[in-house]
Amino acid sequence: MNLSSRLRNIPFWSWLWFILGALYFILPLYATLDFSLRMERDIIGFKAYLSAFEDPDFLKTFGYSVSIAIVTILVSIILTIPTAYWVRLRLPEARRIVEFITLMPFVVPAIILVFGLIRIYSSPITIPFTDIVLIPPLTTFKFGTSILVVAGYMVLGLPYMYRSVDTGMRTVDVRTLTEAAQSLGANWYTIISQVILPNLRSALLSGALLTFAIVIGEVVLASFLGVPAFGPYLFLLGQHRAFEPAALTFTTFLMTWAAMGIIQLVTGGQGQATGAH
Amino acid sequence: MAYLTLSNISKAFGGGLHEPVLAVKDFDMEIKKGELVSFLGPSGCGKTTTLRMVAGFEMPTTGVILIEGEDITSKLPNQRNVGMVFQSYALFPNMTVGDNIGFGLKIAKKPSEEVKQRVKEMLDLIHMAEYGNRYPYQLSGGQQQRVALARALALKPDVLLLDEPLSALDAKIRVSLRSEIRAIQKQLGITAIYVTHDQEEAMSISDRIVVMHEGKIEQIGTPFEIYNFPTTVFVANFVGTLNTANGEVADPATGLLSVDGVQFESATVLKDRKKGEKVRVAIRPERFNFVSQEKKANVLDCKIENINFLGSIVRIQVLIGNTKFYMDTFNNPFLELPKIGAVEQVTCSREAVLVLDE
The DSSP bridge pattern shows strands B36-40 and B191-196 to be parallel
Q: Mark yes or no for CB contact A183/B138 under 8 Å.
A: no
List Cβ neighbours of A181 (8 Å cut-off, separation of 6 or more). A190, A191, A194, A195, B92, B103
Q: Mark yes or no for CB contact A276/B139 under 8 Å.
A: yes
What is the model's pLDDT at position A209? 87
What is the model's pLDDT at position A271? 43
B-chain residues near A184 (CB < 8 A): 78, 83, 103-104, 107, 151-152, 155
Q: How far is A264 from chain B (nearest CA, A)?
A: 18
Q: Mark yes or no for CB contact A183/B55 under 8 Å.
A: yes
Rounded to an integer, the average pLDDT of A25-40 is: 91
What is the model's pLDDT at position A160? 92
- Render each residue's pLDDT in chain B as its tens digit; 358 residues: 789 999 999 999 876 667 788 899 999 999 999 999 999 999 989 999 999 999 999 999 999 999 999 999 999 999 999 999 999 999 999 999 999 999 999 999 999 999 999 999 999 999 999 999 999 999 999 999 999 999 999 999 999 999 999 988 888 888 889 999 999 999 999 999 999 999 989 999 999 999 999 999 999 999 999 988 888 888 988 888 888 888 989 888 888 999 988 999 898 877 788 888 888 898 988 888 887 766 668 888 899 999 988 888 889 999 998 899 999 988 887 778 888 999 988 888 888 888 887 6
> Cβ distance B223 to B206 under 8 Å?
yes
List Cβ neighbours of B262 (8 Å cut-off, separation of 6 or more). B300, B320, B321, B323
Q: Mark yes or no for CB contact A198/B94 under 8 Å.
A: yes
The DSSP bridge pattern shows strands B4-13 and B21-31 to be antiparallel
A129-138, A160-169, B133-142: least confidently modelled range: A129-138
Whether the pLDDT of residue A273 is over 80: the answer is no
How many whole angstroms separate alpha carbon B187 and alpha carbon B179? 12
A7-16, A219-228, B140-149: least confidently modelled range: A7-16
Percent of chain A with pLDDT over 90: 43
Q: Look at residue A170 and give its three-state secondary structure.
A: helix
A-chain residues near B168 (CB < 8 A): 277
Q: Which long-range contacts (CB under 8 A, 24 or more apart) does A146-152 make?
A: A146/A68, A146/A227, A148/A117, A148/A121, A148/A225, A149/A68, A149/A221, A149/A222, A149/A225, A149/A227, A149/A229, A150/A68, A150/A71, A150/A72, A150/A75, A151/A117, A152/A110, A152/A113, A152/A114, A152/A117, A152/A221, A152/A225
A-chain residues near B76 (CB < 8 A): 182
Q: How confident is the model at residue A44 (pLDDT cuts 50, 70, 90)?
A: confident
What is the model's pLDDT at position B295? 63
> Full-prediction pTM beyond 0.95?
no
Q: Mark yes or no for CB contact A177/B90 under 8 Å.
A: yes
How many whole angstroms separate alpha carbon A48 and alpha carbon A58? 13
A1-10, A248-257, B65-74, B311-320: least confidently modelled range: A1-10
How many whole angstroms separate alpha carbon B106 and alpha carbon B111? 8
Q: How confident is the model at residue A113 (pLDDT cuts 50, 70, 90)?
A: very high
What is the model's pLDDT at position B241? 85
What is the model's pLDDT at position B271? 78
A8-12, A19-23, B324-328: least confidently modelled range: A8-12
Which one has a higher pLDDT value, A259 or B241?
B241
DSSP string, B57-96: SS--SEEEEEETTEE-TTS-GGGS-EEEE-TT----TTS-
The distance from CA B331 to its chain's CA centroid, rounded to whole angstroms, is 26
What CATH architecture is A65-267? Orthogonal Bundle (1.10)
What is the model's pLDDT at position B293? 60
Whether the pLDDT of residue A268 is over 70: the answer is no
Q: How confident is the model at residue A275 (pLDDT cuts 50, 70, 90)?
A: very low
Rounded to an integer, the average pLDDT of A219-238 is: 90
List the beta strands (DSSP E) in chain A: 125-126, 133-135
